[in-house]
Every structure is written in C-alpha cells, then in structure tokens.
Amino acid sequence: MCCPRCGGLMLLVRYEDWGSTTTSKTFLAWDCAQCGAVIDPVILANRTKRPAPIKNRARVPAVV
C-alpha cells in the first residue's frame, strides 16, 4: 500500500489506546514509514463525511 500523502511505504501497525474507556484498547492502523501519516478506520470514516452546506452566507455591510 502506498501513502496517499507522500507515496511512501505504508506499514500495518498495532496501536494501544491508553486513554480509551472501552474494553478494546488496541487497534490496527496504516502508518507511513516515510512521512508518518496514520490511517485507521475512524480516520477513513471521518474523511468520507461531508459537512452540511451553509445555505445563507450573506455578508454583513461594513460600517466605515
């Protein structure tokens, strides 16, 4: 697998989440050996979500 940021080698790494309140404190993620980018299932899910468009962004007139 190639890194989407730099094209470097991605390695599958097991991470430990010591601050988690869930029972599962380990997870697998792809880690780039070159630039350090980390990609896990949560990051991928968040990247697919798009924020709702702002319908009204009228400018407020400036007072000079």
Each residue's pLDDT tens digit, 3-25: 999 999 999 999 987 776 666 67
Residue 47, φ and ψ in degrees, nearest 5: -70, -25
For residue 28, what pLDDT is reported? 93
> Taking the domains of the chain in order of start, what are their residue ranges?
10-45
For residue 22, what pLDDT is reported? 63
The model carries a pTM of 0.64
For residue 60, what pLDDT is reported? 73
Each residue's pLDDT tens digit, 10-64: 999 999 877 766 666 788 999 999 999 999 988 999 888 887 777 777 777 777 7
Euclidean distance between CA atoms 38 and 4, whole angstroms: 10
Paired tokens of 32: 């780039």
For residue 1, what pLDDT is reported? 86
Q: In whole numbers, what is the pLDDT of the chain averaged over residues?
A: 85
Contacts of residue 5, defined as CB under 8 A and 6 or more positions apart, other chains included, come to 32, 35, 37
Residue 43, φ and ψ in degrees, nearest 5: -60, -45
